[in-house]
Amino acid sequence: MHLTASKRAAITLALGATCVLAAQGLALPSAQAAPAKSPVTAAETAVARGLAASLADPGWRGQVRSAALGSKQVDLARLTSGSAAPAALTGAVAAADRKIAAAKGLGAQTGSLLRVRLGADSMKAALTPDTAPLVAVAADDDDGAAVTAYDSAGRAHTLSARQTPRQPVYVVDVDVDKAAAAGLQQVGQAFKKAGLAAPAATAGFWTTKVDSVHLNDDEEPWILGDAEIFSIVSGFGFDGKVRVDTVDMPYLDDDGTTYYPNQILVNWSNYKYNLADVVMMEDDGDENYAALAKALADALLTITDQGAYVPLVDAILAAIPSSWYTNDADYVDSWYTLAQTSSGQLNGARGNGRMTVEPYFVQQF
C-alpha cells in the first residue's frame, strides 16, 4: 500500500517507547517488545521498529534496498537524511546516535554510529522491490537462541539465531570499528591523564610485530556482524608505574581466518622491563569506553614496581567492568609475559587465539 506524505509524517518513533505507530495505523503491543538489555540495545531496537514501519512506503523501501545491496554497511544517518525518508525516522536516528554515543562513553563529536545491513548474502535473491524485509537488532548475546524482528505492520516475529532465515532481514547495528577507534582514543587520553601512559621515545626503538593472528571459530550466529578486536598491552614504565597502551585491530573481522597485519603490538621503549602482557578484547557494540578506562586506571594505579616484573593480565581482567562480559566473546584471549625477544607462534592462555610475532626495530630517520 502506498503511503501519502501526510501518512508518512504520521509515523512516529520515540526512543525507549513501548510502541511504534505502524504504516497501517496499528500500534505494536508492548507485550511483543523485546526487553532492552542496555541503553544501546534500547536505542537500536526503537530505530529498528521505526525503520520496519517505514518500509511500507514502496519508494522509500526501494532506496533502502538499493543502499543495502550496494554496501556491506549503510550509514543510517546519511541514508535517512534524504528527502524520501520519513521525518520522524530521520530525527529518531539522530537522537539514537547521540544516546548510543553517551552510553558508550563517547563524545557527541563521534557522529553517526548506527548502521543497517542485510543479514546475510544468501538473502539478496529474496530482496525484491516488492518485498518489505523484516528489521532486527544485532544480538548482544552469542548464546541467544532467538532473534526478534519487526515487520512494516508493527508485528514482532521470532527468528532462529542459528539458522539463517530465507526471508530478507535488515539488521540495525553499531559501527563498532568507528566506535572502537573513538573509544580507544579516549581510553588512551584517560590513561595519559592518570599517568599510565608516558610519552613514547623519539629515537629508534625495538618493537614486537604481529606477522599473523588467528582466532578460533566461535560459531557466532548470522545476526552478529563483524567484531571489533583490540588489545590492551601493559607493563611497567620507567617511572615505576603501570603503563597501558591500546592497539586497535580492525581487520580481525572473522573467526577461523588467519590475518597477516604486520602490525606493531608492543613498543619496548615505553617499558622498563623486557616483558609485557597482552589482553585481547572484542567490542560488540554495547561497551562503555569511559567506564573501561576508569576501571582500569583505578585498579592499575594501585600496583607499584617492586623491582621485578609482575604479570598484569589477572589485574586487568579483574578490573574490567562486568558489562563487558555480557557477551562471552568480549574477552577473547590473553598472553602473559610477552618478551622483547619473543618470536614465532604464541598461543593465548585461553586457547582461543594464536599470534606469530617477531622482534622488529623501528629506525628513526
Interacting residues of 253 by C-beta distance below 8 A, sequence separation 6+: 226, 227
pLDDT of residue 104: 87
For 134, the enclosing helix (H) or strand (E) is: strand 134-137
Q: Which three cell numbers stand for residue 67?
A: 543502499
Please compute the mean of the pLDDT values over residues 29-34 and round it to a whole number: 38
Residue 275 pairs with which residues in a beta bridge?
339
Give residue 7's pLDDT band: very low, low, confident or very high (50, 70, 90). very low
Interacting residues of 39 by C-beta distance below 8 A, sequence separation 6+: 99, 100, 102, 103
Question: What is the tens place of the pLDDT at every residue in 95-116?
Answer: 999 999 998 888 878 889 999 9
Question: Which of 29, 223, 21, 9 lies closest to 120 in space, CA to CA?
Answer: 223
Helix axes 58-70, 39-54, angle to 10 degrees: 120
pLDDT value at 11 more than 80: no
pLDDT value at 32 more than 60: no
pTM comes to: 0.69
pLDDT of residue 295: 85
**What are the φ/ψ torsions at residue 361 (nearest 5 degrees)?**
-95, 125
DSSP annotation of 111 reads -
Question: What is the tens place of the pLDDT at every residue in 58-71?
Answer: 999 999 999 999 99
pLDDT value at 131 more than 90: yes
Give residue 170's pLDDT band: very low, low, confident or very high (50, 70, 90). very high
pLDDT of residue 216: 87
Question: What is the tens place of the pLDDT at every residue in 228-270?
Answer: 789 999 999 988 889 889 999 989 888 889 999 999 999 999 9
| Strand pairing report for 146-150 and 228-236 | unpaired
**Contact indicator for 209, 268 with CB cutoff of 8 Å:** no
Q: How far apart are the first and last CA of the chain?
A: 67
